[in-house]
Amino acid sequence: MGRLLALGAVILATLIAGYYIRKTWIVNAIGGRKARQAARDLQLMRERVGITVPARPAPSQNTNSPNPANFDESKVGHYELPDPLLLKDGTPVVSTEVWWGKRRQEIIDDFEREVFGRVPNSAPPVTWRIVSEENIMMGTHRVHQKMLIGKVDNSAFPSVTVEMRLLVATPADVEAAVPVVLKLGSMQHQKDEWKVLLLARRWGYAILEPGTVQPDHGADLGQGIIGLAGRGQPRNSDDWGVLRAWAWGASRAFDYLETDPHVDRRRIGIEGLSRYGKAALVAMAMDERFSLALIASSGVGGAKIMRRRFAEQVENVVVRDNYFWFCGNFLKYASSHTPDDLPVDAHELVALCAPRPVFISAGSLDNGDRWADPKGMFLSAVHAEPVYSLLGKKGLGTTTFPPEGTPLVDGELAFRQHSDGHTVAPNWPVWAEWASRYWTTHAAETK
C-alpha cells in the first residue's frame, strides 16, 4: 500500500509539474505572439507617419546603464514652453472670450493631432444596463451598490464586442443626490480606505475598468473601442490612442452617472493613478462636465512637462510596450523631432481643465516615484496658472517646488508630494478636504 501511495504521489507531482510547464509555455507563446504583433503595428505606424530615422534610445531608470536617465536637477537644461495665452498667429489672449472662442480649441486641436489622437465620428453609442444591485457594508457605512455593463453598439462591425464595466456606489441612507468620484482602475485591486473616506463625507464613488473599454496592448488595437470604431483596420497617424479611448470611456460613464438619481451630475469628479492618471487628465481636459480631478503620479502624457529632461522621457513611452497609448504622430518626437518641437506640453493639458479645480498628486523621489518626475508635474500647474488667472481663478501661488509633504491647496490648482511611492493613498484625505471646499460651496449655491 505504501508503495502504491508513493507511486501515486509521484504520478500526481509529475502531472502537476507538466500542467504548469504547459501553462507557462502557452503563456510565453501567447506573449511572444502578441509582442511580435505589436512590433509589426509599431513599424507600420512609423511608416504611415513617414519616420525614416531610428527612434532615439529610451533612457534607463538604471543609473549604471549605458544610457541612464537624468536624475540631477542641475543637468535638466533649458527649455521653452509654448504660451497657452498666445494664439497661433501670435496675438496675445487677453480676454475670456478669445480663450473660449479660439485659443482653447487651438490647443485641443494640437493635442488631438500630435499627441492623443482624435475620437472618430464612427465611435458608436453606448447603452448601459444594471446587471446587479444590492446594499453592502463598507466599513461602518451602508452602501447602495450597482454593477453595470455599457454595451457599445457593434451592429456596423459585429466581429468586435465591447462591454464596459462600471461600479457605482452611493450612501444608502442619503436620499439626496450626492457627489461621486469616478476612479479609473480595476475593481479587483482596490483598497477600501479611500471609499470609506468618501462615504464618511456622504459622497459616493464609481470605478470604471479601462481595459474593458480598450485593452492595454498594441496587439489588441483591432479589439476594444478602437478596433470597433476602426472596423479592425490599422490606425491612421492621427487616430486615437488608448489614453484617448479610456478618456472616451470615462465620458460614457459620465453619460450614465448624470442619469442616476442618486448622483449629483454637477459634482462628478475623476481620479486616476499612473497611466490611468494620464487618461483621467485627458478626460478632465476634454470633457467639461467633470467637476474636478485628482491626478496622481501621471508622468509623461499626463501632468509631467515633456520638454523637461528629468526621469521619464518621451522616448520611454513610444516603445513597443506603450506607443499605442498615443496617436501615431507622437512617435516622431522620439526620432525625427524632439519634444521641443511639440506644439503643446503638459501645462496646456492642465490649462484645458480651467477654471475647474485640479489636484496634482506625486510621491517621493526616494520611495519609488521619481520616474514620474514630481517637480515636472508641479511645473505643469505653475505654467497653467496664467489661464486660471485669466478666468478669475487661483493657481498654486508659487513657482518654488515645495518640501515633501507640503500641501499647496489654496486655489483651484493644487499640488502635494507625499512621502510614499507610486501611489495616491496618502493624498486622498488632503484632496477630500480641498475638494469639499468646492463641492460644499456648489451645493449651497444651488439650493
pLDDT digits 0-9 by tens, 23-36: 445 445 556 899 99
Alpha-carbon dihedral angle through residues 152, 300, 294, 388, given to the nearest 10 degrees: -110
**So what's the pLDDT on residue 27?**
41
Across 252-258, average pLDDT: 98
pLDDT of residue 447: 46
Asked whether residue 270 carries a pLDDT value surpassing 60, the answer given is yes
Q: Is the confidence at residue 249, as pLDDT, over 60?
A: yes
Q: 513611452: which residue's cell?
A: 317
- List the domain range (segments joined by +) for residue 113: 105-445
Mean pLDDT of 253-280: 98
Residue 17 pLDDT class (50, 70, 90 cuts): low
- Look at residue 46 in the predicted model and tell me its pLDDT: 97
Q: Does 242 reside within a domain?
A: yes
- Report the domain count for the chain: 1
> Which region among 60-64, 160-164, 194-198 has the lowest average model confidence (pLDDT)?
60-64
Q: What CA–CA distance (Å, rounded) separates 126 from 119?
A: 15
325 is a domain residue: yes
Fill in the amino acid letter for 19: Y
Could you tell me if residue 49 is inside a domain?
no
Entry pTM: 0.92
User: Is residue 294 within 8 Å of residue 128, measured between CB atoms?
Assistant: no
Helix axes 428-445, 193-200, angle to 10 degrees: 30
Per-residue pLDDT at 444: 46
Does residue 335 contact residue 388 with C-beta atoms inside 8 Å? no
What's the confidence (pLDDT) of residue 191? 84
Read off φ and ψ for residue 241, nearest 5 degrees.
-100, -175
Give the side-chain half-sphere CA count within 13 A for 385. Answer: 16
Q: Tell me whether residue 262 is in a domain.
A: yes
The answer to whether residue 379 scores a pLDDT higher than 70 is yes
Residue 15 lies in a domain: no
How many Cβ atoms from other residues are within 10 Å of residue 174's Cβ? Answer: 15
- Phi and psi at 444, nearest 5°, equal -65, -40
Assess contact for 143 and 199: CB atoms under 8 A: yes
- The amino acid sitting at 401 is F
What CATH number has the domain bearing residue 286? 3.40.50.1820
Q: What is the pLDDT of residue 26?
A: 45
Average pLDDT, whole number, for the chain?
94
Instruction: Please determine, for residue 10, whether its predicted confidence score (pLDDT) is greater than 90.
Output: no
Is the residue at 138 inside a domain? Answer: yes
10 C-beta neighbours (distance < 10 Å), count = 10
Q: Please say whether the beta carbons of 368 and 399 come within 8 A.
A: no
Distance of alpha carbon 368 from alpha carbon 322, whole angstroms: 20
Confidence of residue 179 (pLDDT cuts 50, 70, 90): very high
All cell numbers assigned to 246: 479610456
Measured between alpha carbons, how far apart are the two ends of the chain, in Å?
Answer: 81
Evaluate if residue 398 carries a pLDDT over 90.
Answer: yes
Task: Write the pLDDT tens digit of every residue in 189-247.
Answer: 778 999 999 999 999 999 999 999 999 999 999 999 999 999 999 999 999 999 999 99
Minimal CA–CA distance to 128: which of 269, 315, 254? Answer: 254
- Residue 3 clears pLDDT 90, i.e. is over it: no
| Residues written for the chain | 447
pLDDT above 80 (res 371) = yes
Distance, in Å, from the CA atom of 222 to the CA atom of 234, rounded to the nearest integer, reads: 7
* Rounded Cα distance, 261 and 346, in Å: 36
Percent of the chain with pLDDT over 70: 91
Nearest to 301 by CA among 224, 242, 213: 242
Which H or E element spans position 167? Answer: strand 163-171
Q: Is the pLDDT of residue 323 over 70?
A: yes
- The answer to whether residue 337 sits within a structural domain is yes
Do the domain assignments include residue 81?
no
* Rounded alpha-carbon distances, angstroms, from residue 400 to 61, 118, 396, 408: 26, 35, 10, 11
- Is the pLDDT confidence value at 280 over 50? yes
pLDDT at 346 over 80: yes
Residue 272 in grid coordinates: 486616476
Query: How buried is 416 (Cβ within 10 angstroms: 0-12 exposed, 13-18 middle, 19+ buried)?
Result: buried
| Average of per-residue pLDDT across 136-146 | 96
Helix or strand run (H / E) with residue 23: helix 2-49
Helices (H), 223-360: 224-229, 242-257, 275-286, 346-351
Stretch 39-62: mean pLDDT: 96
The pairing of strands 126-138 and 141-152 is antiparallel
